[in-house]
Structure 1
Amino acid sequence: MKPLELDRDFEALLDYLKRNQSCDFTGYKRPTLMRRFSCRMQQLHIERYQDYLQYLQSHSQEWIELLDSILINVSSFFRDREAWDYLASNIVPQIIASKQPDEPIRVWSAGCASGQEVYSLLILFAEALGIESCLQRVQLYATDVDKVALQQARQGVYRANEVKGLAPDLLKKYFEPTEQGYAFDRRLRRRVICGCNNLAEDAPMSKIDLLACRNTLMYFNPDIQARILVRFHFALKNNGFLFLGKHETLTAQRPIFMLDNIKHRIYIKGLHLELGDRLSITPKFRLKEASDSLVSQLCFWQAAFETSPFAQLSVDLNNRLVAANEQANFLFRLTLSDWSLPFSELLPGKLVSSHVAIGKFYCDRRPVNLKNIKWITSEGTKYLDIFIAPVFSTNNDLLGVNLTFIDVSDRQQIIEKLEYKYSELARASETCQETKTALDTTRIELEETQKELEALHQEIQFIERDMQFRN
C-alpha cells in the first residue's frame, strides 16, 4: 500500500475514534502514534488500518484497550530526583515566601497519569509547611484524559514496586500499608481534586502557583503544544512556575515563557498573551471568571461526593462506572480492573439488576427506591436501601444514573429483634388468655361445686330436723 493511502487510512481511523469515542488523537505526533497503534494491532494479528477500523466498529470495548496502549502512563514518585530536589530547595520556598501566612497555594499536575506526580508535589509542600498547615492552605488539581489512571490517582493506592523509590521515612510518614498496597495519607489525599481534562481543548485551571506537566508535551505536534502553552500561561499567576520533563524544551514562536533553570526544565512567565491568544481559549466569554466558578463548583461537588457517609456510584449510558466514592470502594471492594468491566458485571450491578432492570429504568427516567435488599457476603448478611436517581444535562438529556447504597443492617437487626420480642409477647399473651380461660372454667366449676355443697348441706339439715321430730 502506498504511503499516501496508509496516511488516509490512519486518519480515517483517528477520525472514527474522535467522532464515536470522543478520543481525539489528531494532535499527537504521527510517528509515535503509529507505533502505539501498531503494537496493539500486532497483539490482535491485524496488519491493515482498514481492518483494525472494522475491528473497532464490531468490538465496543476495544477502544479502551487501545487507549491503554496509546496513553502509556510511565510515572513514579520523584521521577528524575535531581529536578525534584531543586524544586524542594528553590521553587517551593519561593512560592511560600511570596504568600501571606494564611494565603492559599494552588498546584496543578497536568497529565498526572496514575497520581505519583501530584502526590510527590503534595509531599514537598507538606514537608515545607508541615502537614497541618498544608491541609489548610494547599489545593492540588490532577488532570488527565485517561479515566482509568485517574481512578488510581483518586484512590492513591500503589503496589510495593511503585513506591520502592521513596525514602523509607517518607513512605512511613505519608503512606499506610493495606491489603491492596500502600495507601497515601487519607487527609492529604482529600486536598487533591482529580478530573478529566484535554489540555488542548478544555478550560485550564486558574491562579496556579506551580504547574507540573512532565513528559506530556513531547507527544503533541508543535501547533497543539502552542495551544496548550497558551492555556498554561493563562493558568499561572504572574509569579508562578512551569515544571516540565527533562526531555522537553519549549519551541513556541513567541516566548511567552522564560527559562528559570534549563537543567531541570523550570520556566516562568515571559511575554503577555495577545488578544488572539486569549480568543483562542475563549472566543465568547471571559474564561477566567467562568473557570474560577467551575473550579469552585467542582471542588464543592467532588468534596460532597467523596465525603458522603453513604456509598455512591455513577454509571453512564454505556453501562460503565464513571465515579465511585471512598465508601463505595470500601463497601464493594472495587479495584482498578473493575473500571474496565460493564457495571452489570460488578457486584453492585448484580445486586441492583436482581431487583430492577436498568434498561427499563433508562426508559422510565424516574427515581427508584429499593428497600431492605438482602445481600449475603462472606462476612455475614447485610441489608441495603438502594436509591437510583437519573442524572440529566442542562438540556434534559439523560447522562446516566447515580446510585446510593445505605447499609441498614443495624435497623434490620433491630426490626428482627422487635419482631422476635413481639412474637414472644404474642405467645405469652396467648398463654395468659389460655390460663384466664382455664381459670374462668375452674371458677365456674367451683361455683357449681359450691352450689352442690350448699344443696347437700340443706339436705343434711332437713334430715337432721326430721330425725329430731321423730324422736
Structure 2
Amino acid sequence: MNLSQAEPEFEALLDYLKHNRGCDLTEYKRSSLVRRLRVRMQSINIGSYQDYLQYLQSHDQEWMALLDTVLINVTSFFRDRDAWDYLAHEIVPKIVASKQPDESIRVWSAGCAAGHEVYTLLMLFAEALGIEACLQRVQFYATDVDEAAIGQARLATYNSKEVTSIPPQLLEKYFEPTPNGYVFHRQLRRQIVFGRHNLAKNAPMSKIDLLSCRNVLIYFNGETQASIFVRFHFALKNTGFLFLGKSETLVNHRQIFTPINLKHHVYAKGLNLELDNHLLINPKSSKKQALDAMTYQVRIWQTAYETSHEAQLAVDVNGRLVATNEQANILFGLTLNNYHRPFEELEPGKLLGSHTSMKAFYRNRRRITLKNIEWNTLKGTSYFDISIVPVFSQKQHLLGVNLTFIDVSDR
C-alpha cells in the first residue's frame, strides 16, 4: 500500500493517539512519522495502519513503545565536537564576561533527552567559572516531552560506551565510576531543574542566557518550528544566545534571530517580534482569537517577566499559575511542574489566601497592597508587602493578576 492510499488510515491512527492517549504527534513531519511508525509496525509484524490501530486499542502499553520509537533520543556528550569547542571558547566566555561577579546565569537545554547535552553544558560553565562559582551562580533547566527520557537524565548514570566522547580529564573530574556506570558530579547535578515540556504548546523559560535546542526541531513541520522560534525569542534575554543542531535552520521569514556563527548554528536575538510573529503561536485560530491570545501573552510577559529584584508571579483569571520570574522561583521553590496548577495550592497562594480572597479581588478588579504579611518557614520568619495588580486586555477584559512580593523583613 502506498502512502496516498494509506493516508486516511494513517491520520486515523494519529487521531486515536491524540484523543485517546494524550499523545499528539500531528505537528511532527509526516515523512519522519511514517518512517518510524513503519519501524515499530515491522518489529511486531503488522503490515497496515488499520491493523496497527486495532493492536493499539487492544494493548494498553503499546503506545508507550511507539512513543519510544518516534521520540528517538539520539544524543551523546559533546556531539559535533567542533560546535561545542566554539561554544566553550567563544560563547560561554562572552556570557560570563557580560555579568557582574555575583550575577546569576540561566541556561536551558530544550529537548534534553537522556541528559547528555545538559551535562555537557554544565561542564563548560564549571570549567569557565570553577565548580564553586558555578554552584552559586548558574541555574540550568532541562526539559523534554518524554517522561522516560527525563527520568533517565535525572539518574545521570552512563555506561562506558556513552562516556567515550568525553575528554579524559573532564571524565575524571566530573564523573564517578560505580558498578552501575559513570555518575555525573552529584553537587553540580542539583543545579538542574528537570521538567516535562512541550516546545510547541507550553510557555518557555524566561531570562535565558543560553538556550540549547539541538536536533529536536527537525521532527516538527515548518509552521510549528516557526512558532517555537517565537517562544525561544520570548525566552532569551536581549544578550542571550541560541544554539541549534547541525541539521536545523531558522524558518521564520523575519530575522528575529541573527547568526553569530552559521557553521556552528549559534544565533543572537535579532528583530523584535511583530504581530505576524505572535500569530504564529496559534496559527489555526481566527485573527481575532489569535490577536486576543497575543495580547494575553504580551501583557503577561510584560508584567511578570520584567526586570525586577522582587518576586513576581502571574495568575490567570481561572486561578492558575502561568508565569514567574527568577526571584519568585528562588523564594518559593517553584519549578516547571508548578505551572498551570491552582495558585491556592502553591506556597505563595497559601500565604496570600489567609489574608485575602482572590475571588473577591476578581470581583472588585482594583489594585490592592497587603502590608507586613508574616511568612514562617524552617529558615525563619519573613515579612512581605504583597501588591496585587489586575491585568486587562485592550478591551478591558480581565486576563488575570500580577503579584509582587516585596521583602520588608529588615525595615
What TM-score does the superposition give when structure 1 sets the normalisation length?
Answer: 0.62
Q: Which residue of 2 aligns with 1:35?
A: 35
Take 1:301 and 1:117, find their aligned partners in 2: how far apart are those partners? 28
The alpha-carbon deviation at position 164 of structure 1 amounts to 1.1
Q: 2:324 aligns with which of 288, 293, 302?
A: 293
Q: Which residue of 1 aligns with 2:214?
A: 214
Take 2:327 and 2:18, find their aligned partners in 1: how far apart are those partners? 29
Quick one: which amino acid aligns to residue 130 of structure 1?
G
Q: Which residue of 1 aligns with 2:117?
A: 117
Quick one: which amino acid aligns to residue 70 of structure 2?
I
- Shift in CA distance, 296/32, structure 1 to aligned 2, threshold 3 Å: farther
Q: Which residue of 1 aligns with 2:230?
A: 230
Q: Which residue of 2 aligns with 1:174?
A: 174
Take 1:183 and 1:270, find their aligned partners in 2: how far apart are those partners? 39
SS at match of 2:239: strand
SS at match of 2:183: strand
- Shift in CA distance, 109/42, structure 1 to aligned 2, threshold 3 Å: same
Q: Which residue of 2 aligns with 1:251?
A: 251
Take 2:325 and 2:61, find their aligned partners in 1: how far apart are those partners? 31
CA contact (8 A) 1:75 1:117 kept: yes
- Shift in CA distance, 137/295, structure 1 to aligned 2, threshold 3 Å: closer
CA contact (8 A) 2:115 2:152 kept: yes
Q: Which residue of 2 aligns with 1:58?
A: 58
- Shift in CA distance, 301/183, structure 1 to aligned 2, threshold 3 Å: farther
SS at match of 2:127: helix
CA contact (8 A) 2:226 2:280 kept: no
Aligned-pair identity in percent equals 60
The alpha-carbon deviation at position 218 of structure 1 amounts to 1.3
Q: Which residue of 1 aligns with 2:271?
A: 271
Specify every segment of 5 or more residues in structure 1 that has no aligned partner in the other structure, as ranges.
305-321, 323-392, 397-471
Take 2:187 and 2:77, find their aligned partners in 1: how far apart are those partners? 19
- Shift in CA distance, 142/395, structure 1 to aligned 2, threshold 3 Å: closer
Q: Which residue of 1 aligns with 2:81?
A: 81
- The superposition leaves residues 399-438 of structure 1 with CA deviations (integer Å, 9 ceiling, x where unpaired) of xxxxxxxxxxxxxxxxxxxxxxxxxxxxxxxxxxxxxxxx
The alpha-carbon deviation at position 294 of structure 1 amounts to 7.6
The alpha-carbon deviation at position 172 of structure 1 amounts to 1.1
Q: Which residue of 2 aligns with 1:24?
A: 24
Take 1:298 and 1:56, find their aligned partners in 2: how far apart are those partners? 40
The alpha-carbon deviation at position 184 of structure 1 amounts to 0.6
What TM-score does the superposition give when structure 2 sets the normalisation length?
Answer: 0.71
Q: Which residue of 1 aligns with 2:71?
A: 71
The alpha-carbon deviation at position 3 of structure 1 amounts to 4.2
Greater per-residue helix proportion: 1
Alignment of 1:285-324 (within 5 A): 286-288=299-301, 289=304, 290=314, 292-293=323-324
- The superposition leaves residues 184-211 of structure 1 with CA deviations (integer Å, 9 ceiling, x where unpaired) of 1111000001111110110100100000
- Shift in CA distance, 2/114, structure 1 to aligned 2, threshold 3 Å: closer
Task: Tell me which of the two structures has the higher relative contact order, counting C-alpha pairs closer than 8 angstroms and 6 or more residues apart.
Answer: 2
Q: Which residue of 2 aligns with 1:239?
A: 239
RMSD (Å) for aligned C-alpha atoms:
2.5
Take 1:296 and 1:145, find their aligned partners in 2: how far apart are those partners? 26
Quick one: which amino acid aligns to residue 324 of structure 2?
S
SS at match of 1:172: helix
SS at match of 1:249: coil
Quick one: which amino acid aligns to residue 267 of structure 2?
Y
The alpha-carbon deviation at position 252 of structure 1 amounts to 1.6
CA contact (8 A) 2:108 2:211 kept: yes
Take 2:333 and 2:66, find their aligned partners in 1: how far apart are those partners? 29
Take 2:218 and 2:65, find their aligned partners in 1: how far apart are those partners? 22
Take 1:190 and 1:222, find their aligned partners in 2: how far apart are those partners? 36
Take 2:332 and 2:21, find their aligned partners in 1: how far apart are those partners? 26
- The superposition leaves residues 245-295 of structure 1 with CA deviations (integer Å, 9 ceiling, x where unpaired) of 112121221111111001101011111111353465554354432455287
- Shift in CA distance, 194/300, structure 1 to aligned 2, threshold 3 Å: farther
CA contact (8 A) 1:205 1:292 kept: no
- The superposition leaves residues 124-173 of structure 1 with CA deviations (integer Å, 9 ceiling, x where unpaired) of 00000000000000001011111111001111111111111111111111
CA contact (8 A) 1:256 1:269 kept: yes
Matched residues, number: 311
CA contact (8 A) 2:83 2:264 kept: yes
Work out whether 1:126 is the aligned partner of 2:126.
yes
The alpha-carbon deviation at position 5 of structure 1 amounts to 3.8
- The superposition leaves residues 278-324 of structure 1 with CA deviations (integer Å, 9 ceiling, x where unpaired) of 465554354432455287777778789xxxxxxxxxxxxxxxxx9xx
CA contact (8 A) 2:328 2:334 kept: no
CA contact (8 A) 1:176 1:183 kept: yes
Take 1:395 and 1:78, find their aligned partners in 2: how far apart are those partners? 40
Take 2:331 and 2:17, find their aligned partners in 1: how far apart are those partners? 33
Alignment of 1:452-467 (within 5 A): none
Q: Which residue of 2 aligns with 1:466?
A: none
Q: Which residue of 1 aligns with 2:160?
A: 160
Specify every segment of 5 or more residues in structure 2 that has no aligned partner in the other structure, as ranges.
282-292, 305-313, 315-321, 345-411
Q: Which residue of 1 aligns with 2:14?
A: 14
Take 2:343 and 2:323, find their aligned partners in 1: how far apart are those partners? 23
CA contact (8 A) 1:205 1:295 kept: no
Q: Which residue of 2 aligns with 1:192?
A: 192
- The superposition leaves residues 182-240 of structure 1 with CA deviations (integer Å, 9 ceiling, x where unpaired) of 11111100000111111011010010000000111111110010011000011001111
The alpha-carbon deviation at position 117 of structure 1 amounts to 0.2
- Shift in CA distance, 195/222, structure 1 to aligned 2, threshold 3 Å: same
Alignment of 1:250-399 (within 5 A): 250-278=250-278, 281=281, 282-283=293-294, 284=296, 286-288=299-301, 289=304, 290=314, 292-293=323-324, 394=342
CA contact (8 A) 2:104 2:137 kept: yes
Take 1:62 and 1:89, find their aligned partners in 2: how far apart are those partners? 45
The alpha-carbon deviation at position 395 of structure 1 amounts to 11
